[in-house]
A and B are shown apart, each in its own frame.
Chain A
Amino acid sequence: MRSPIVRTSARVISPFLFLAGLYFAAHGFLLPGGGFQGGVLLASGAILLLLTHGREKVIRLEENIDWFETVGLVIFLVAGLIGLFIGGAFLYNLSPGTPMWCIVLDVVIALKVFAGILALFIYLFGLGEVRGC
């Protein structure tokens, strides 16, 4: 994994993966896609960086990964509760007629899935232990 070809191409490809993930998440109301798929794409970009550049590049992400997860769930829950108080039903659509509700929930789900898949990868494969790859 220390080959310069692999490292350079990963560095080139991963921003596009992040961009594609955000695009899929934010355009879920127009195109096939959505929060889960966008989150997995985001996570694949991060995993590519993690595999090729070692743990040091993503160590801050790894320390905060459970916060990402929890914050995503709490935002979803708070959105549902706001709908409960305003519209009278849990997860009531706060913006009827406009796709804002879908966009916000999709991006939140994407961030949460991103943190989740990355955490699965890091902890299940023991990558936190690997120093030099």
Chain B
Amino acid sequence: MKASVGGYARASDLRHALELLSGSGGLGRILAGGQSLIAAMNMRLSAGDLLVDISRVSELSGVSDAGDRLLIGALTRHVEIGGNPLIRQHAPLLSQAVQYIAHAAIRNRGTIGGALAHADPAAEFPACILALGATLHIEGLNGRRDVAAEDFFRDVFETAIGEGEILTGISVPKAEAKETQVIEEVARRSGDYALAGLCLVKRPAGHRVALFSVGPRPLLARAAMTALDKGDVEGAAQALRDDMDPPSDTQASSAYRQHLAQVLLRRAAARIEGANA
């Protein structure tokens, strides 16, 4: 089908984008890479939007070293995340995740900020930044604020971004010396959204496990994390049952998603053990 768009404006910088958004009478919608939004508009899941195209706002793109953290601009494209040496060194979970996201042509346009703001519960990046304990930077005409990843994802396609605000970037803590990060997922075909997925970060201070595609938003598997901290992988796999209540849909039943999450946890733990051996 064809999109039905209310209007289009191209923002020259962040301030301009925020002014456009504020002048849109609530109909404004941020267009970045467009790989989810334009698909949704073409399917008429969204119609009449006043598009604020931020894709030329260069200040929102790129990766920089900020001491103990990496600052990743919201408009940094998936292909850039996948190839960036700073990310490969300090946040390898994100580098690994890129290979699972759709296909090359989509990774050339899609942006990390777009993926996070869209908050598809089956997407990889939201779960990654939850596992990493990243901070999201949000800006409005009234100023900036920071939101922890754990407080950012509210529900299916719902985040802490308020009316008139734009996600400008994220700060990701650099991996510590003995930290390992892995992502595992199962999809029916390469590039499809996962039936279930899991990010595992092992830090000297403890484990962090984030699940995706098993609920309305990515979630921290706290019971499994506690079990992993005690060195009990099988206990962690069993504990996942307490951490999630996955939905059944045409892609997979709830029980199958639970089974997959357990398999993925065992795989991820084995990979980390292998990496440290």
Q: Do chains A and B interact in one complex?
A: no
Give A residues with C-beta under 8 Å from B. none
